[in-house]
Amino acid sequence: MKIDLAVSHRQSGVTSSLTERARLVCARAKELEEAGEFEEARDAISEFWQRVGERPQVEGLDRIGRAEVLLRAGALSGWIGSARQLSGAQEIAKDLISESGGVFDELGLVERVAEARIDLAICYWREGAFDEARISLDDALMRLGDLDSEQRLRAFLNKALVETASKQYREALQLLREAAPLFEASHNHALKGKFSNVYAVVLQNRGFTEHRGDYIDQALIEFSASSFHFEQASHKRFQGRVENNLGFLYTYLKRFTEAHDHLERARSIFENFKDKGSVAEVDDSRARAFIAQGQFAKAETLARASVRVLEEGDELSLLAEALTTHGTALARLGNYSRARATLEKAIRTAHNAGNQESGGVAALAIVEELAKQLPVTDLRAYYRMAESELMDSQRAEVQNRLGKCARLILAIESVPDSGHGSVVERSSVSEATVSQPVHDLAGPSSSPEHVSLEEQVLHYEGNLIRQALEASEGSVTRAARMLGVTHQGLAFILNGRHKSLLTARKPVKRRRRSIIRFH
């Protein structure tokens, strides 16, 4: 019995010693991970885990020690998988993180459970599974409550990041403004840098959408603050993110020299880290800049390289965007069949990711870039897909593009068939067709000399409105957007000049009166 007890003490001591070592190396790995030094972090826990896809060695560890190793191995699997574009890495990461979170939950360690839920959400975000990411982050915030914890800051930050990635900028801005006092009180430069970077991205996109120069100016200030904090924290990799975002901003402002300076710096940073996933993101940004400059051959080369890398990994939303860039560049170069195939692949990829907005943008690009090459029936189908998936988009430029495409299709449909089968000859058709003389379009059957100009205009206007109502299945709101007028404006025209078309609209729904009265 004494011998058994001694053995038990020795085993207990070994377990305690091994567990303590596991906790120490995991703590060090976490510091390196937060600094963006993912390979160094992997080396720090190499005693227990060495590479993505391997099961961590957790024998001899107590439950907390096992959970710590599983969490670090899972989080690093996600980061390294993204950097190297390793297929299946995010699923591997999610499994390890979930297992770890389950142990922490059984032990009642609330902050550690929240940390696991946040790391799990990051994996979902990389895959483009934004709803799952939101659920995981909401769970983390619910568990944390008002607890003064850095994990609470991480949850707010990543939730804003998810909303930004899914183009829900109003929600992201509200989250960031609510959390701003918490970040201001923090002494963690890395978290403050990430906050300023996300805040700047949201501000710049709201600035683009609302044509707010003050938002753009504030975004530039936040990018500077982000760079400062990352420099203080010695987080070089994340400075590359800021440089890429600045490149995107200066591209929008058409300050291309500055845009390329920032993008080249970003690429250099990521190349030094051998982070080919981030290099591919920067190449997509550079391709967009070259498209904006009209340098389509350079854009196609970069976009193709970006797609080739991103196809190796799990980040489907990024791949869908890169495919859309590549398809656009191919179309501008006149390679229409490849452009269509690439843009259709972008649609499928976005749908597989569950990213509705990216799929809609890719469908919209087909209408914009291939209007002269496709049958009008195909254009209508792509437009309806785009409209369905982008109807709730918060980006004004997307709504404007939808309206332009709708008017383009209506104009094409108004041109008499030139005898080329189902494909109408459209070499001279553009958005400006709407302003062509009425007798060049589908006007009254009588010859122009027997019909007044006012009658021709009225007939043409009625034809366009009827086509818009048919295409929108009777929705006045959607038809108005197609025609580039307000809902109220189209309703006025229908009730005034074209009462015969009232039967083509959906019945007006009476709004219920609120039972609440304001005095």
Evaluate whether residue 263 is within a structural domain.
no
Contact predicate 206/215, CB 8 Å: yes
Q: What is the 3-state secondary structure (H, E, C) of 216-279?
A: HHHHHHHHHHHHHHHHHCCCHHHHHHHHHHHHHHHHHCCCHHHHHHHHHHHHHHHHHCCCHHHH
Distance CA 308, CA 302 (A): 10
Distance (Å) of CA 351 to CA 233, 250, 321, 361, 513: 38, 30, 12, 12, 39
Residues with Cβ within 8 Å of 6's Cβ and at least 6 positions away in sequence, in order, are none
- DSSP designation for 511: P
Residue 451 included in any domain: yes
Domain that holds residue 14: 1-108
- The per-residue pLDDT string of the chain (519 residues; one tens digit each, 9 = 90 and over) reads 344 434 444 444 555 789 899 999 999 999 999 989 999 999 999 999 999 999 999 999 999 999 999 999 999 999 999 999 999 999 999 999 999 999 999 999 999 999 999 999 999 999 988 999 999 999 999 999 988 899 999 999 999 999 999 889 999 999 999 999 999 999 999 999 999 999 999 999 999 888 889 999 999 999 999 999 999 998 999 999 999 999 999 999 999 999 999 999 999 999 999 999 999 999 999 999 999 999 999 999 999 999 999 999 999 999 999 999 999 999 999 999 999 999 999 999 999 988 889 999 999 999 999 999 999 999 999 999 999 899 888 888 888 899 999 889 888 877 655 433 333 333 333 333 233 222 232 333 334 444 454 565 566 567 778 877 877 778 777 777 677 665 656 775 777 667 777 777 665 444 333 322 323
The CA R_g of the chain, rounded to the nearest whole Å, is: 28
Local structure of 516: helix, strand or coil: coil
**CA atoms of 276 and 98, how far apart (whole Å):** 27
Q: Nearest Cα to 97, choosing from 130, 47, 60, 133?
A: 133
Q: Which alpha helices (H) appear in 150-188, and where do they start and end? A: 150-165, 169-185
Classify residue 98: in a domain, yes or no.
Answer: yes
- How far apart CA 303 and CA 3 sit, in angstroms, is 69
Burial 473-485 (b: 16+ CB within 10 A, else e): eebbebbbbbbeb
Q: What is the CATH number of the domain that holds 466?
A: 1.10.10
Answer yes or no: is 313 within a domain.
no
Whether 81 is covered by a domain: the verdict is yes
The answer to whether residues 329 and 292 touch, using CB atoms and an 8 Å cutoff, is: no
Residue type, 138: D
Q: Does residue 471 lie in a domain region?
A: yes
End-to-end CA distance of the chain: 85
The number of distinct structural domains making up the chain is 2
Distance CA 401, CA 338 (A): 23
**Residue ending a domain, choose from 79, 108, 137:** 108
Cβ atoms of residues 239 and 272 within 8 Å: no
* Site of tokens 């729904």: 509
Q: How far apart are CA 50 and CA 98, in angstroms?
A: 19
Question: Among candidates 407, 424, 423, which has minimal Cα distance to 415?
Answer: 424
Residue 33 lies in a domain: yes
Residue 459 identity (one-letter amino acid)? H
- Type and span of the H or E element at 494: helix 487-496
